[in-house]
A = this chain, B = another copy of it.
Amino acid sequence: MSIQHLPLAPELAVSDWFNTPSPITLEGLRGKVVYLHSFQLLCPGCVAESLPQVKRIERLFANTDLKVIGLHTVFEHHAAMTPVTLKAFIHEYRLTSPIGVDQAGDGDVPVTMARYGLRGTPSSVLIGRDGTILHHAFGVEDDMAVGARIAMALAQPVPAAAGEVSDGNCADGRCALPGTEA
C-alpha cells in the first residue's frame, strides 16, 4: 500500500483537445512532472501574465521531461468563450502545448475545475513524478519561485512504474512490491 502524504492529482475531464494528436491523461504521464495551468481566454490576468509565464516555463525546461498542459476552465460567459473562439485564440497567441477544454459540469463550473477545487483563473497545479499535487496556486507567482519549484520537482527520482520489475524498490536489503514505496 502506498504511503501517500500528498493528495493524488485527480484525473482530467476534457471534452476537446488542441495541440495534441490524441487525448492526454495524467495517468499516462505518471513518472513525469506536469505543470497544469488553468485559464480562460477572456481572463485579463491569464492573457497578460500567466500565459506569457507558461511560455517562459516551456522555454526554460524544454530539455527536461516536464509536461506543460493547459486547461480552458470556463466558469462564466460560456457563450463568449466557445471552442471556436478558443481555437482562434490559440492560433493568435501562438500557444503550442496541449490545451484541453474542461468538460462542462452541471452548473457553471466545469468538471476538472471542480475536482481540483480551483478558485478561479489563472490557476496552476504542479504534479510530481508520483502523481501527487506538489503545489497549486491561484494567481501568478514570481518567475523565480516558479522556476525553483519546478526544478525541485524535476530533481525527484522517477518512481518505479507499477508492474515493472525494478531494482528501484529494493533498498536497505529488502525489496518492496512494485508501487508500494515511493
Mark A residues whose CB is within 8 Å of B.
42-44, 47-48, 56-57, 60-61, 77, 79-81, 84-85, 87-89, 91-93, 142-152, 155
Are B42 and A144 in contact, with the CB atoms below 8 A?
Answer: no
- For the complex of A and B, 8 pairs with smallest distance between CB atoms: A147-B147, A80-B88, A144-B147, A148-B151, A77-B88, A147-B148, A143-B143, A143-B144
Are B56 and A77 in contact, with the CB atoms below 8 A?
Answer: no
- Output the nearest chain B residue to A78 by Cβ-Cβ distance: B88
Are B144 and A60 in contact, with the CB atoms below 8 A?
Answer: yes
Are A92 and B44 in contact, with the CB atoms below 8 A?
Answer: yes
Are A60 and B93 in contact, with the CB atoms below 8 A?
Answer: no
- Output the nearest chain B residue to A56 by Cβ-Cβ distance: B144
Report Cα–Cα, A88/B42, bound state, in Å.
8
- Output the nearest chain B residue to A57 by Cβ-Cβ distance: B144
Report Cα–Cα, A47/B43, bound state, in Å.
11
Which residues of chain B come closer than 8 Å to A77, judged between CB atoms? 88, 91-92
Which residues of chain B come closer than 8 Å to A149, judged between CB atoms? 151
Report Cα–Cα, A143/B60, bound state, in Å.
11
Which residues of chain B come closer than 8 Å to A89, judged between CB atoms? 42, 80
